[in-house]
Chains A and B, each alone.
Chain A
Amino acid sequence: MNGRAAAGASEIPGVARLERSPFQGRALRSLVLTGGVWLAALIAGVPLVSVLYLLIVRGGSRLSLEALTALPPAGFEMGGGFGNAIAGTVVMVGIAGLISVPLGVVAAVFLAELSPLSRLSRAARFAAKTLTGLPSVLAGVFAYAVVVLTTGSYSAPAGGLALAVLMIPIVVLTAEEAIRAVPRITRDAAYGMGCTRTQVACKVLLPTALPGILTGVMLAVARAAGETAPLLFTALFSSYWLFDGGHPHLMQPTASLAVLIYNFSGMPFENQIELAWAASLVLVSMVLVINVVSRLIGRPRT
């Protein structure tokens, strides 16, 4: 302490000044940069907030029980809604989840635990990373070639497959990360108890990594729910219910919120345009809720 005081005294004769001096060079620079950072953060938030604002103002007014449950109107018809599109989106995202979650999680176990350094897993990891950047139209073209051309019709499974192609890489990469994050000592404990590799994966790694895996699944679901392009070639659109008279009609064109918004927003009818706004609000709310839920699940707990 004495040393420091002496050193200070040698630089500044007399008493050291401790008051703020806001017009000194470094203080001024700090002020400007802090302001810049605040501004950048605000600007980054503008798109989401403005989109939400517009959706609530323009879509909220049209939101009603009828809009949520009725079938889409045709032409000059008034009223109507997008109930079948909500159902179609849920069913197709569900199909996509049924395909991508088991496949993705099992692949992640292979990448993270069974053979992390092998040539196969390097190739698979590279493929998954590349797939995350795949234009979603191409996923639609792929599902069109695989399902639509072979079955001869646009259908919910075709849409589901297209969405699954987009979800798989997200599930694989986040699940691998979550499994890798299980501490080495926890694996040691499991092997030390006499677990086989399958038991280590099923009884210890997957339960421990579950919050992280669920977060990844939810993010993938949120991404898939908002996709339009892959559904244009695969599920197309429909003005009818997916379930009619108690039977599902899976192998026929299926409505979805995203395609409904795409179709209706370009129509010259005020009623359809209003419905497109309301459907957008519903879709964004669904994605938002899924994101929030994934954050709640993924929260670290003790």
Chain B
Amino acid sequence: MATMMAERNRRETANGMIAAAADPSTNPDVVIDCQLEQVHYGGFLAVRDSHVQIQKGRITGFIGPSGCGKSTVLRSLNRMNDLIRGFRLQGQVRFHGTDVYSRNVDPVAVRRHIGMVFQQPNPFSMSIFDNVAFGLRLNRFKGNMAERVERALRQAALWDEVKDKMKHSGLSLSGGQQQRLCIARAVATEPAVLLMDEPCSALDPIATRRIEELMVQLKQQYTIAIVTHNMQQAQRVADVTAFFSVDITRGSRTGYLVESGPTKQVFESPAETLTKEYVSGQFS
């Protein structure tokens, strides 16, 4: 335990910039301050010691090998993991200063402010219009629905392709279009943060490129956190990168944050040798 603490102290001093920004009250740019100590699924310790900050108007990329807990951490931010049996979290996830895991917080309200785009495109089996309007109706939006739907579809760079078939099923679109529809659905309610869990892993390279361009456009208005398996993708889109790895020394497979910082720094002059080995492709 003591060595772990020492290790963490060393890491924070290694990334002086992150350490300085650790207190969200002094830094209004931090939208989500994730101080995750331990995440269990039943008796299995899935993630430990992962302190990540999501900064306003930036894209934060979570990278790391399979099983390193990057998706678990992302899904902990909007309490999506509550749906999994046996999920337990120790630590805090402060969203604008409020711990989303505190007793009086409603997870449903959290998810309305922190939107999510999933690995597999998952439009609802309803019309394109209804898909985008879904969240607005959920929030009892009373304004001009058609205008908001159009704006969301434009933001998702899908408007020109679907404007003449708004009544068609969302499932009739191609995979890449479906994923952009899911992005439109998520941004229609203008959430404070958009979480993307490997949004391109089910898509072909051309669709992937479109989504990446879209993310860069969206960050002018939204704060984005993205999990990606693809290091080139992280380099192309992420402003800040958090590198997770998996610790198999204690007989179990527990993910943890190795280091985080500006993407350029993490890729070009990482503080940890593990990061260096990973980003240079020595293991994956």
Which residues on A are within 8 Å of B, measured CB to CB? 183, 185-196, 199, 203-204, 207-208, 302
Contact = CB atoms under 8 A, between A and B. Distances in A.
Contact of A191 (B83, B125, B172): B83
Given A186-B122, A192-B111, A193-B115, 19 more contacts: A188-B80, A189-B118, A189-B122, A189-B124, A190-B124, A191-B111, A192-B80, A192-B116, A193-B111, A193-B135, A193-B189, A194-B108, A194-B110, A194-B113, A194-B135, A199-B138, A208-B124, A302-B169, A302-B171
A152 to B, nearest CB: 50
A193 to B, nearest CB: 5
Contact of B172 (A183, A188, A193, A302): A302
A192 B124 contact: no
Interface string B232-253: 0000000000000000000000
B120 A185 contact: yes
A279 B80 CA distance: 57
Interface residues of B, number: 29
7 residue pairs, one from A and one from B, having the closest CB atoms: A194-B112, A192-B116, A185-B122, A194-B111, A189-B122, A208-B125, A185-B120
Contacts of A189: 118, 122-124, 182, 185
B78 interface: yes
Contact of A207 (B78, B126, B139, B189): B126
A166 B158 CA distance: 50
Interface-centre pick from A189, A192, A196, A302 (highest chain B CB count, 10 A) = A192
Given A193-B135, A195-B138, A186 B80 contact: no
A193 B122 contact: no
Interface in B36-95: 78, 80, 83
A121 to B, nearest CB: 14
Nearest to B171: A302
B185 A183 contact: no
A28 B118 CA distance: 55
Interface in B99-124: 108-113, 115-116, 118, 120, 122-124
A288 B120 CA distance: 40
B267 to A, nearest CB: 30
B177 to A, nearest CB: 14
B107 to A, nearest CB: 9
B134 interface: yes
Given A185-B122, A186-B125, A207-B125, A193 B138 contact: yes
A122 B186 CA distance: 36
Nearest to A209: B125
Nearest to B111: A194
A190 B138 CA distance: 10
Contacts, number: 63
Given A199-B138, A207-B125, A192 B78 contact: yes
A196 B82 CA distance: 13
B76 to A, nearest CB: 13
B94 to A, nearest CB: 19
Contacts of A207: 125-126
15 contacts: A185-B118, A186-B124, A186-B125, A188-B80, A188-B116, A189-B182, A191-B83, A192-B78, A192-B80, A192-B115, A192-B116, A194-B109, A194-B135, A208-B125, A302-B171
Interface string B124-166: 1110000000110011000000000000000000000000000
A199 B139 CA distance: 12
A208 B135 CA distance: 17
A194 B172 contact: no
A183 B123 CA distance: 11
Contacts of B138: 193-195, 199, 203
Interface string B172-202: 1000000000100110010000000000000
A188 to B, nearest CB: 6
B111 A188 contact: no
A191 B109 contact: no
Contacts of B172: 302
A302 B171 CA distance: 7
Interface-centre pick from A183, A186, A187 (highest chain B CB count, 10 A) = A186
A193 B118 CA distance: 11
Given A191-B80, A191-B83, A196 B122 contact: no
Contacts of B109: 194
A185 B116 CA distance: 12
Contacts of B135: 193-194
Contacts of B189: 193-194
A189 to B, nearest CB: 4
B154 to A, nearest CB: 20
Interface-centre pick from B112, B138, B189 (highest chain A CB count, 10 A) = B138
A207 B185 CA distance: 18
B70 to A, nearest CB: 17
A302 B111 CA distance: 29
Interface-centre pick from A186, A187, A193, A302 (highest chain B CB count, 10 A) = A193
A208 B126 CA distance: 8
A193 B134 contact: yes
Contacts of A199: 138
A199 B109 CA distance: 13
Contacts of A204: 124
Contacts of A203: 134, 138
Contact of B185 (A185, A191, A193, A195): A193
